[in-house]
Amino acid sequence: MTSTPTAAHRAALGRGLRDVRAERGLTLRDLADLLQVSPATLSAIENGRTGVTTDRVERLAAVLDVTVDRLFGQTNDVAGVAPTLPITHSEQSHWRTFAPLLLDPALEGALLSFVDLGYHGAPMRTIAERATLSVPGLYHYYASKQEMLVALLDLTMSDLGARCEAARSEGTDPVQRFALVVECLALYHTHRRELGLVGASEMRSLEPEARERLTGLRRDVQHLVDADVEAAVAAGQFLTTQPHEAARAVVTMCTALAQWFRADGPEPAEHVARQYVDFALDLVRWVGRA
């Protein structure tokens, strides 16, 4: 699930980011605060230990007032090769498209271990074995198990949020926007089932600062659905008398897909997603059903 170019790009971005940050006279914590990420996550990026979404690279460039190319620098190991970033949503991809998941070895091992054993039940030795690394080799990537969990959830929420925004932008009215976001949530929690499971079960395992920040990102996704349900109710298109509760039930229904969906099951993810759009429209009492 890894590749040499991907590792090279992570290293190039880390070097470029560290150099530009130094030029701007910013400490690691200064820049982390501006980006609303933890210093541990930013340190992992600067040291090339974790992947970064396209959206976050663009955010880094904007905050530092440089081009994306400047962040990657002019290094021999990536010259002439366009950046390839893991768990990305960009103009070259569509929110319904899910390329193979690319994680560094440590995160791959952590994800497998957290899904099978849970965060607290997964010792570093087991994570190292799943990553095909030694325990000292694992610490070369991340300083702690907590850093790995934060990195996984950061990548998950960044990707999910970007996909939901892209899906919603295709709608021309509240009902369409609602249906598209529901489809996106259902597709994400089937195609990215393992990440969905960790996100649903391990928020409680985060340290307070990271938990508060990532909870905020989850609320942002919920608020997309809230807004469209409320707008459709106001327009007389949804007849539910409890729009807030209905919107929360819809999101919970979609995220729960990660608990039971299997890629080798009888129905493909796309069919399940269409079913869930129908379920969601029934739940909010869409007048189009009449």
Q: pTM for this one?
A: 0.71
Tokens of 62: 């904007």
Tokens of 17: 């980011």
Tokens of 49: 């230990």
d(CA 63, CA 34): 7
Tokens of 170: 């295709």
d(CA 253, CA 223): 16
The 10 Å CB-count burial string (b at 16+, else e) for 214-250 is beebbeebeebbbbbbbbbbeeebbebeebeebbeeb
Least confident interval from 7-11, 147-151, 279-283 = 7-11
Q: What is the pLDDT of residues 51-85, one digit of tens each?
A: 666 667 777 888 888 777 778 764 333 333 333 33
Q: What is the pLDDT of residues 113-129, one digit of tens each?
A: 999 999 999 999 999 99
CB atoms within 10 A of CB 127: 25
Tokens of 206: 């985060």
Amino acid identity for residue 92 in this structure? Q
Which DSSP state fits 99?
P
Task: Band the pLDDT of 8: cuts 50, 70, 90.
Answer: low
Tokens of 73: 């620098």
